[in-house]
A = this chain, B = another copy of it.
Amino acid sequence: MHEYDTYEEVLRSNGLKNTKHRNEILDLISKSEKPMTADDIYINLKKHNVSINISTVYRILDTLVSKNIIIKSNITGDSKALYELNRQEHKHHLICSGCRKMFTVDECPLEDYEKSLSNKLDFDITGHKLEIFGYCKECKNLYKDKK
């Protein structure tokens, strides 16, 4: 399975034109294990000598979000939005309040909980976002006293 073909298919099957920029952005996001900001993407493309405008980056991201190909979020709490591939198997993140690094966890403990909530509240649950905060191995000692 060749990558280009895959991205093209993703785009086509969503009624989107198959442009170079869209392919490049999809490729970047697909290959990143962590959510990226619009600027991360812009900088990264520039670094690889791709000529693109920041507003185009935003427009492409919006389009991909609207088609549910990628997910927009804001975990770290700062002002920039984060974008990540909408992968079937979802992951959660641990965010270190010390160094702001993000760690990924695979397990998700919420399936049963969601079912019971769904019944109790008559709410049709489509997804969730879980972020866990704390201090990582390296930072826990440095920040221990600040508690």
Contact = CB atoms under 8 A, between A and B. Distances in A.
A128 B135 CA distance: 12
Contacts of A118: 134
Interface stretch (A28-36, A41-49, A119-127): A119-127
A132 B114 contact: yes
Contact of A117 (B81, B105, B110, B135): B105
A131 B134 contact: no
Contact of A97 (B77, B126, B134): B126
Q: How many copies does the complex hold?
A: 2
B136 A132 contact: no
Contacts of A126: 97, 133-135
Interface of A: 72-74, 77, 79, 81, 94, 96-97, 103, 105, 107, 109-110, 113-114, 117-118, 121-137, 140
Nearest to A136: B123
A22 to B, nearest CB: 22
Given A109-B110, A117-B105, A129 B133 contact: yes
A127 B123 contact: no
